[in-house]
A and B are shown apart, each in its own frame.
Chain A
Amino acid sequence: MASPRIALEKVRKVYGRHVALDDVSVDVRPGEFLTLLGPSGSGKTTLLMAIAGFVRPEAGLIRIGDADVTRLPVNKRDIGIVFQNYALFPHMSVLSNVEYPLLLRRLPRAEARERAQAALARTQLEGYDARDIAALSGGQRQRVALARAVVFEPRVLLMDEPLSALDKNLREQMQFEIRKLQQDLAITTVYVTHDQREALTMSDRIAVMNAGRIEQLDAPQPIYQCPTSRFVADFMGESNILPAAFLEPLGSALPLDGTLVIRAENLSLEREAADGDGVAITGRVTAHAFRGETWHLRLEVEGERQLLLSIPSGKSFDPADIQIGQQLTAYAAARHIHRLDGGPEP
Chain B
Amino acid sequence: MLDAYPESRLARALLWSFGSLVLAFLILPTLIVVPISFSGSDMLEFPPRSFSLRWYSSFFGSADWMAALRTSLVLAGLTAVVSVPAAFLACIAIDRQGGRLARAIYAFAVIPSVVPGILLAIGLFFVLARLRLLGTLGGVLLGHAVLAIPVAVIVLYPAVRRFDWVQLQAARSLGAGWGRAIVGIMLPQMVLSLVSAALMAFLSSLDEAVISIFVSSGANTTLPKLMFISLRDQIDPTIAAISTLWTGLIVAVVLLFAARQRA
Contact = CB atoms under 8 A, between A and B. Distances in A.
B180 interface: yes
Contacts of B122: none
A246 interface: no
A89 B167 contact: yes
Contact of B172 (A74, A80, A88, A105): A74
Contacts of B177: 73, 75
A27 B150 CA distance: 52
Contact of A152 (B169, B174, B180, B189): B174
Q: Counting chain A CB atoms within 10 Å of each CB, which of B167, B173, B177, B189 scores highest?
A: B173
Interface string B173-188: 1111100100011001
A104 interface: yes
B170 to A, nearest CB: 4
Contacts of B185: 89
B166 interface: yes
Q: Counting chain A CB atoms within 10 Å of each CB, which of B166, B170, B171, B185 scores highest?
A: B170
A contacts with B: majority SS: loop
Nearest to B184: A100
Nearest to B190: A91
A77 B177 CA distance: 12
Interface in B182-232: 184-185, 188-189
Contacts of B171: 89, 100
A167 B184 CA distance: 32
B164 interface: yes
A279 interface: no
Interface string A255-281: 000000000000000000000000000
Interface in B2-25: none
Nearest to B181: A75
Given A83-B166, A85-B164, A85-B166, A91 B189 contact: yes
Contact of B176 (A79, A87, A88, A104): A104
Interface residues of B, number: 17
A100 B185 CA distance: 10
B188 A74 contact: no
A128 to B, nearest CB: 19
B212 to A, nearest CB: 39
B169 A87 contact: yes
A78 B172 CA distance: 10
A80 B169 CA distance: 11
Interface in B75-91: none
A141 interface: no
B170 A83 contact: yes
Interface string A83-126: 10101111100000000110011000000000000000000000
A74 B166 contact: no
A52 B164 CA distance: 19
Contacts of B167: 87-89
Interface string B129-164: 000000000000000000000000000000000001
A79 B173 CA distance: 6
A12 interface: no
B173 A80 contact: yes
B160 to A, nearest CB: 15
Given A75-B175, A104-B180, A91 B188 contact: yes
A105 B174 CA distance: 9
Given A91-B188, A91-B189, A104 B174 contact: yes
B189 A148 contact: no
Contact of B173 (A52, A85, A91, A105): A52
B170 A87 contact: yes
Interface of B: 164, 166-167, 169-177, 180, 184-185, 188-189
Closest 8 CB pairs of A and B: A87-B170, A101-B174, A87-B166, A81-B173, A104-B175, A74-B172, A75-B172, A91-B188
Interface of A: 52, 54, 73-75, 77-81, 83, 85, 87-91, 100-101, 104-105, 148-149, 152
8 contacts: A54-B169, A75-B174, A87-B169, A87-B170, A89-B185, A104-B180, A105-B175, A152-B174
